[in-house]
Structures are given as C-alpha cells and as structure tokens.
Amino acid sequence: MYKKKNGFNLAALGLAGSGLLMVMFGYVNAQGEAPEVIETDSHRFTRMAEGVYQVTGTGTVYLMSNALMIVGDEDVLLVDSHVTPNAANALLRSVAEVTDKPVRYLVNTHYHFDHAHGNQVFPDQVEIIGHSFTRTKLNGEMGNVLTEATHLSFTEGVPALVESLKAQVAAATDPAERAKLQADLEVQEAHMISLREIVPTPPNITLEDKMTLYQTLSDGDREIQLLHLGRAHTAGDVMVYLPQERLIFTGDAMLPSLSYMGDSFPQDWVQTLEELKKLEFDIMLPGHGAPVQGKEKIGHFQAYIGDLWQKTSAMKAQGLTAEQVAEQIDMTNHAPNYGQIRGPGADVRAIRRIYALLDE
C-alpha cells in the first residue's frame, strides 16, 4: 500500500477504499491540491507538476537511479527502468498502485545499466524509446554491454559486499544495528541475484535529435520533448523536456554531483550543456540525486569538465600514466561546488577515457 507524506491523513478524513483511490487517481487531495509525495513499499513519487513525478527509492529495493513518471488522461510515460529486472518490477508494481492508467511508453535517457537494465520486464505493449546509439549498445551490435568496463566496475564488487554484510550481521551485537544490517543484506542479495537475470533489451523506437510526444490531457495535450542535444555522458543521451511545466529530466548528462565520465565525450559535453542552458526551465530532474533549481550548476560542471580535460592533457604530455594522473591531478579548485572533492585525485575511469580520446 502507499502512504502519503505531506501532513494530512486521508483515512482520518473518512476517505477510505475506492474513495481514497479516486482521490489519488485524480491527483487532488481533500483540499483540492495534488499530494506532494506518494510512497509505496519500494518507491517515492514526488509531485513536480500536475501528473509529473520524480520517482526515487525508499531503500527496500536497490534501484541505483531515479525515474520520472508522467501521467496523462489515458496513459503513462516512464523515463528510465532502473538497474535490474527486480528493480523494474518494483517500479511497475508501484506505478500500478498510484495510477490506474497503463504504461504506454518507456524512455531510456541512455544505455547505461543503471537506467536501462530493467527494460526487459516491461510488457510487449510498452514502446521503448531511446537514441539510436542506445539501441545499438543494448542490442549488442557494439559488443556485450554486460562485459564492458562500465558495467563490470559498478557490479563486480556486489558479491563481496554481500559477503561483507553477512559477516557484519553475524558480528553485530546491538539488535537495532543487526536488524539494519540484515535489511541491507537482503536488499543487496536481491540485487545480486537479479544482476544475473539481465538480458539487455534495446529501445524499439529510436530518435536522432528530437521527438515530440503529445500526451492526452482533458485541458490540452501535454508536450513531451525528447531531446538529444549532442554527445555528453554517452553518445546517445536523451533529455525529457516539458516546456509548459518548465521541467527537464537530464538523465546523467547533468547531475547535482560529478557525473561518471567513463563513456563520455568531454569536449562535446561542454557544448551540449551550453545547448541545455538555452532551454527554458526552472528545475532539472537528474538521473541521480535531488532536483536542481536553476542553471548555475550547469556552469559548474562545464568548468569541471573543461579543467579536467586541460589538466589531464598536460599531465599526459609530461608522460604520466592515466593511473598516476588519477592520483595526482588537483581538482580541489572545484571543491566549493562538489563536496565529494576532498583532496587531489579524480575518477581513474574518467582519466582513462580522456587518454583514449586523446590517443584517437
């Protein structure tokens, strides 16, 4: 069951059973306002505009990425499918709890495992839309994504994490701590098992630069723009732009934190973010983390990318290895914008990527 979190209790108002459902499906509460947050066992739906929800996890299922739900009068569009079939099944169960409308479209912001490896559980009638590059990656034309460095580097450690949690549960003496560790263990075990079930499943509808969907709403259709603004985090990033609502779901092309750069095109990325700045919106919904107000953080990330490229190029020219650069590079001038920067160093996967591009 779902519960609401914005301070009023529908049951206490005497709205139970189908009355409650009708209220929820209509996206209004007893005061005539849409609820701010709807929670299921596994998911939290935070209302950003009428029928538009940022979808995050409660922690009971390992999702690894945010999703977006856009509900129209007749159907639902989802953006991104999480990291495993297990996570995507939980998403579909949760969506069915908060709306009676069928899911018609799933959009993949990019091919990365944590956004697209839930694709396989979507029913046949759901159209999966993504960039043509995303299709090429997920259908295996460019090799098996399951054996790529990106997927392996984020998933190889899961069995060891499970073993470590088992040992911590066994060693825990405090009952509350033990219960917390046991819950973490169960989440990671389910994640580990579902990782083995993955069958990469590509979009069956592709776009190159832009596609616009018009979702039926009684008071005028909702314009949903799917935009590829250029290469960035991958070669096929798609952002989901709602011009009337002044919202944009940016996937991993723009995060509140430093985005993974192991498959990126850093120089294009800076320009792509320049294109993003030209769009009119108030809030960015990222593939990971909390919503971002305004455009200031775009400049911060452009500056980081440009600086990382420059410094890495210079250090490569001096003969350092990528691993040495990853240890020694000083990006602390960006620490005021990124709490994760606490000293010299950068993600070695980003540096290796820049080396590979410089060698091309």
Where on the chain is the footprint of Zn ion (CB under 5 A)?
112, 252
Torsion of the alpha carbons at 309, 310, 311 and 316, rounded to the nearest 10: 80
Q: How far is residue 300's CA from residue 284's CA, in Å, rounded to a whole number? A: 14
Q: Which is nearer to Zn ion, 131 or 316 (CB)?
A: 131
Question: And the tokens for 254?
Answer: 């723009």
Please report the sign of the dihedral spanned by the C-alpha atoms of residue 334, residue 336, residue 338, residue 339. positive
Q: Which is nearer to Zn ion, 112 or 316 (CB)?
A: 112
Residues facing 55 on adjacent strands:
45, 67
Which residue's entry shows tokens 């540096």? 351
Least gap, CB of 77 to Zn ion (angstroms): 20
Q: For Zn ion, which residue has the nearest CB?
A: 112
Identify each DSSP E strand in 182-232 by its residue range. Answer: 205-207, 210-215, 222-227
Q: Which is nearer to Zn ion, 260 or 355 (CB)?
A: 260
Q: Which is nearer to Zn ion, 42 or 150 (CB)?
A: 150
Least gap, CB of 187 to Zn ion (angstroms): 21
Least gap, CB of 120 to Zn ion (angstroms): 18
Least gap, CB of 179 to Zn ion (angstroms): 33
Q: Which is nearer to Zn ion, 264 or 302 (CB)?
A: 264
Torsion of the alpha carbons at 118, 93, 122 and 84, rounded to the nearest 10: 10
Least gap, CB of 112 to Zn ion (angstroms): 3
Least gap, CB of 114 to Zn ion (angstroms): 6
Torsion of the alpha carbons at 257, 307, 249 and 4, rounded to the nearest 10: 10
Q: Which is nearer to Zn ion, 39 or 252 (CB)?
A: 252
317-323: which pairs have CB atoms within 8 A and are 24 or more residues apart? 322/348, 322/351, 322/352, 322/354, 322/355, 323/348, 323/351
